[in-house]
Amino acid sequence: MLTLPAKVIVSAKMPGKLDHEQRLIAEYAGSLDLPVETASEKMMERGKLALSVDTLVMGTVPFVHHALRLLGTQLPEHTPYPEVLKPWLYRKVWQEKSLRRVLDRLENGGPRVFVKPVSGWKRFTGFVPEFADDYRFNGVSKSMPVWVSEPVTFLSEWRVYVLYGKIQDIKLCDHRGDGTMRPDMNVIEKALQALLDAHIAPAGFAIDFGVTPQGKTALIEMNDGFSFGAYDGLSARIYWDITWARWREILLLTAGR
């Protein structure tokens, strides 16, 4: 069992206004009688907060990035599509050296594809653009590398919450989907075992699977455990356990402590 942090700092867009995930962490920390501070990304970026390796920092990716920098380390490398999980993709996924190459093909009548950033930790949310000048690319460098995949339809999408290789819960991601179309848990267990066998499973993470029209349980993407969404019904304790375990692991692995 992990020791408790000395205090908790969560990101807030506005004073007193916490997103759902930050509120889960703050409320659970309160139940443990731990001090909780809220701060903006700018405050963290400018080093206005007292940090130590015994502080749990949770919030947006930039917020966590700045905290790790102040602690002398950085965000971990991450891929949403680990090589060992390719058998469960059921679609072609590859990297392009630049977003520009994808947009040029689209502008010249190429097939529509799903696009998401390789680096920058979700600099934009992945989607299937219809036009090369899609407004969702505004402000995004066209030279940035991106993941590209064949579009796929999912009848339902599910998030699996994992702590030390064990499934803690599974929640429906998209409530517009068919919640009766549940994924094959045997498939998910095999995918998780592949991660464990390859020794690349983080201490805490979330991994998304979807059910295709053909009835396949396919990998959507893997999400790191330091900043991830908590869908309806996920308990505060599970969200806390995964977040705290992964935060401690990042500090131990990347800072050499």
Together in a domain, 14 and 40: yes
111, 130, 149: which is the final residue of a domain? 149
- Which residue carries 């520009």 as its tokens? 100
Alpha carbons 185 and 16: distance in angstroms, whole number? 39
Two tokens, residue 119: 């680096």
Together in a domain, 207 and 171: yes
Together in a domain, 173 and 82: yes
Q: State phi, psi for 161 to the nearest 5 degrees.
A: -100, 125
- 3-state SS, residue 86: helix
- CB–CB of 147/117 below 8 Å? yes
- Which residue carries 């806390």 as its tokens? 240
How far apart, in Å, are the Cα atoms of 219 and each of 56, 75, 84, 92?
Answer: 30, 23, 11, 12
Together in a domain, 178 and 82: yes
- Predicted pLDDT at 94: 94
N-terminal to C-terminal alpha carbon distance within the chain: 18
Question: DSSP secondary-structure letter at 61?
Answer: H
Instruction: Identify the domain containing residue 122 by its residue range.
Output: 92-149
Number of H helices, E strands in the chain: 6, 10
Say how many C-beta atoms besides its own lie within 10 A of residue 93's C-beta: 16
What is the Cβ-side half-sphere exposure of residue 74, based on CA atoms within 13 angstroms? 4
Which residue in 239, 215, 69, 68 sits closest to 154, CA to CA? 215
Name the domain count of the chain: 3
Show pLDDT as tens, one digit a residue, over the chain (257 residues): 678 999 999 999 887 789 999 999 999 999 999 999 999 999 999 999 999 999 999 999 999 999 999 999 988 888 899 999 999 999 999 999 999 999 999 888 889 999 998 875 556 788 999 888 888 888 888 999 999 999 999 999 999 999 999 999 999 997 788 889 999 999 999 999 999 999 999 999 999 999 999 999 999 999 999 989 999 999 999 999 999 999 999 998 765 54
Q: What's 216's domain CATH number? A: 3.30.470.20
- 3-state SS, residue 11: strand
- Predicted pLDDT at 174: 78
Together in a domain, 159 and 179: yes
pTM summary value: 0.92
Together in a domain, 208 and 84: yes
Together in a domain, 199 and 254: no
Two tokens, residue 255: 């800072």
- 3-state SS, residue 23: helix
State the greatest distance between any 2 C-alpha atoms of the chain, in Å, as a whole number: 59
What are the strands of the beta sheet with 36-39, ordered from one edge? 36-39, 7-11, 55-58
Together in a domain, 4 and 69: yes
Q: What's 140's domain CATH number? A: 3.30.1490
Residue count (the chain): 257
- Predicted pLDDT at 176: 80
How far apart, in Å, are the Cα atoms of 40 and each of 54, 59, 112, 176?
Answer: 20, 10, 37, 32
